[in-house]
Structure 1
Amino acid sequence: MDTTPPCPQCKGEITYPDDDNLVCAECGHEWPASGDGDAAATQVRPRDSNGNELADGDSVVVIKDLKVKGSSIPLKQGTMIRGIRLVEDDAEHIEGNSDKIKGLVLKTCFLRKA
């Protein structure tokens, strides 16, 4: 029986080969089907809405107004988030603090590097 590795993003067990890639049926994530199994080489780095790579300690700017769950204060366009932290094993989210709201987890598609 052919065994395929679990999804590196959601850890789902239902994966299948598609040409030169492996695909997760649960979350739709695709990754190269390299036989070496090197996780560091396949690790996806977080990128902002313009495609710039983000790193710990960077400053980012919110590109559109966002509603914040658990708060009545919205996060306005142009708000600066300084000293971001990358979420381990998740290239779509970062952690940070604004001047008014602490403990934010934001999607990188709503941010641009400052």
Structure 2
Amino acid sequence: MAEDQMLERTNRMNLLYDFYGTLLTSKQQSILALYYQDNYSLGEIATELSVTRQAVYEHLKRAEQTLEDYESKLRMADQYARRADISEQLQQLIMRQKVEFREELLELLEQLQTIDDSNKPE
């Protein structure tokens, strides 16, 4: 897998983990966190958890598929990303408006972003 694809995959898994990670088993959570957030290799995780490399691989793949399944049904991460894109477009559009409207429009946009940010898991 190319480096760009790996980075994209890592970013996607981290985003899905933010939304759905608490729905995984504790072992799946640990393995995903070590692999995607702490950048451990499969062998390092196996050593850390006292299991085989194959077991780590299977848990990782099952956890990834579970996150993708949740996202395909709930679409929370996709909706969050789409709202963030629209917010960025709105901010750019607001900055092109007359000064007298900018402050009020930016305040409304900030209120929308605050609502959305309060719904994003940590």
Give the structure-1-normalised TM-score: 0.24
Higher helix proportion (structure 1 or 2): 2
| Bigger Cα Rg | 2
Higher strand proportion (structure 1 or 2): 1
